[in-house]
Amino acid sequence: MGRKKWTDEEPKAAVEVYREMLSHQRSGETFVKKRYYESLRARFGRTVAAYEYRMQNISFVLASQGRKWLTGLVPAKNVGVNVATKLENILAEIEGSLLAEWRD
């Protein structure tokens, strides 16, 4: 039995959750990462460990851009080019949308 391929919606949801947790961290609010992973598991059916690793992929992308990443989510090693590129594009899309909303 092979691994189920990630849909386009799954990494986008993971990036949105990561950004929410990062916002909590920046404002000094307490939060439990595992609860976020569990909400993603309930929504998409993957394991909590799969989401934790995906978050480490996001940390990798942020670190490679010289940006701050979530404490406790050390950037993953050996992130594939396709995964990194997809996450970079999702980050740019989400952040671009937020900037556009702010300007309006």
The residue ranges of every structural domain in the chain are 9-103
Q: What is the pTM of this model?
A: 0.89
Per residue in 51-93, pLDDT (tens digit) is 999 999 999 999 998 999 999 999 999 999 999 999 999 999 8
pLDDT of residue 101: 52
d(CA 69, CA 19): 10
pLDDT of residue 36: 98
Q: Is the pLDDT of residue 104 over 50?
A: no
For 1-25, what is the HEC assignment? Answer: CCCCCCCCHHHHHHHHHHHHHHHHH
Angle at CA 71, nearest 5°, toward 53 and 29?
Answer: 115
pLDDT of residue 22: 95
Per residue in 5-28, pLDDT (tens digit) is 899 999 999 999 999 999 999 999
